[in-house]
Amino acid sequence: MNQILIVFIVYVLCQTAKFFLRLASSDSKDLDKRALWVYLWAGGVPSAHSAILVSSLYFVYREVGTAPLFVFCAITAIILMYNLVADREREEIRKKIFNFKNPASGAASIEKRVLDISGHTFFDIATGVLFGFLATVVLEKILY
């Protein structure tokens, strides 16, 4: 049961870190209007998807070692993270094709929000993996 709690705490910590990174960024001028959106849903650094995948994968490894179940879970996690990057790249290609550059119509804010939910960059994934692993190890030491 502690394992599920740790994975959930990793998610909350990751989203909290992301929220404060966004708050500190120069794009935070309209954050007060959509703080809940940023906290619960938005993409960016670090990737909460990657963090919870790595956290869960850590516990699978602790239970079964390098058994076929772990290998299957690791490959599945890698495929999911790859798809997050591919989704983001597809959306950026769509953006270039349709060339949304008319901020007067509000298209710029819609475009930014669409990119926000369209996966992650490789850097987002890498920081999420590192964040998830380190947070899981620290939390395991604290809670066990």
This prediction's pTM: 0.80
pLDDT band at 24; cut points 50, 70, 90: confident
67 vs 33, more confident: 67
Each domain of the chain, given as residue ranges in start order, spans: 2-143
Contact assessment for residue 81 and residue 49, using Cβ atoms and an 8 Å cutoff: yes
Q: How many residues does the chain have?
A: 144
Per cent of the chain over pLDDT 70 is 76
pLDDT in tens, 109-122: 556 666 666 778 88
Cα radius of gyration rounded to whole Å, the chain: 17
- From residue 12, alpha-carbon distances to 79, 80, 116, 132 in Å are 23, 20, 18, 11
Those residues whose C-beta lies under 8 Å from the C-beta of residue 65, and which sit 6 or more positions away, are none
Tokens of 1: 């049961």
What CA–CA distance (Å, rounded) separates 42 from 116? 6
Give yes or no for residue 123 having a pLDDT over 80: yes
